[in-house]
Amino acid sequence: MKLRLWSWNVNGLRAVLKKDFINIIQESDLDIIGLQETKLQAHQIPDQMQELDEYYIYWSHALRKGYSGTALLSRIKPLSFEDSFGVEEFDTEGRINIAEYEDFIFFNIYFPNGQQGGERLDYKLRFYDKALEIMQEKRKTGKMILVAGDYNTAHKEIDLAHPKANENTSGFLPIERAWLDKIVDLGWVDTFRDFDSSAEQYSWWSYRTYARERNTGWRIDYFFVDKEHRNQITNAGIRQDVMGSDHCPVFVEITLP
């Protein structure tokens, strides 16, 4: 069986629905889509989403209105779905989807932004560590583990347009990048870099200064897979042609036994 999966920070689902979102999803023929930053409460889910009736849809909402939020759209019904890490400080912002299927487990995560440092940077790093703990625990199942989402950190200098200018900016701080080094050292594979080593491959652009038009961006959206199953990833990439958000979708194609 072959499956096509997307991860996309839509920066407001209601906003992107006005920008051809339904047609984009339907025409792309996707099996699973993880959305981040939906910015919805449960009572605000747009009726338009009913047009995607071929998908089971699971939501996680932040307590704070108009903030964060994630959603999982899946043509295959998961065996189970979780929207928490079991830690209150991480479970109130709607950042977590974990869906278990027969042959794999899919994480759709909207990792925190470290902002200007201080408490939110500390929060981000604690969230990272808890995510890794759960990733490693799920890995013990022997199933393929896919961890998709907006990680809010560019890993290497090649992954942003101006690395030197951003050395002291959250999203490219050494302490944030070190966590990505750590997961790689533990055997998690950046699927995109397995297929493409080229520069200027970005997934997010600031709305300011026409950054997307100039391709002055950051690659902060990823699919990581456990190294034991990397051979089941048949393709990975970035859909820079898909508009509607300040992020574009990233994708993998997988083959299941």
Domain borders along the chain are 2-255
CATH architecture classification, 2-255: 4-Layer Sandwich (3.60)
* Largest separation between any pair of C-alpha atoms in the chain: 47
Q: pLDDT of 106-119, one tens digit each? A: 999 999 999 888 89
CB 230 within 8 Å of CB 255: no
Would you tell me the crossing angle of helices 118-139 and 174-185 to the nearest 10 degrees?
0
Candidates 126, 113, 130, 134; CA nearest to 37 is 113
Q: Is 150 a catalytic residue?
A: yes
Q: pLDDT of 62-74, one tens digit each? A: 999 999 999 999 9
Q: pLDDT of 155-176, one tens digit each? A: 999 999 999 999 999 999 999 9
Q: What is the pLDDT of residue 116?
A: 80
Phi-psi region of 43 (alpha: psi -120 to 50; beta: other; left: phi over 0): alpha
The neighbouring-strand residues paired with 247 are 204
Candidates 11, 13, 98; CA nearest to 58 is 98
CB 92 within 8 Å of CB 85: no
Q: pLDDT of 196-237, one tens digit each? A: 999 999 999 999 889 999 999 999 999 999 999 999 999 999
- Residue 122, classified by CB atoms within 10 Å of its CB into exposed (0-12), middle (13-18) or buried (19+), is exposed
Model confidence at 138: pLDDT above 90: yes
Q: What is the pLDDT of residue 72?
A: 99
Pairing of strands 104-110, 144-150: parallel
* Catalytic annotation, pick one of 150, 159, 190, 221: 150
Candidates 38, 28, 77; CA nearest to 251 is 28
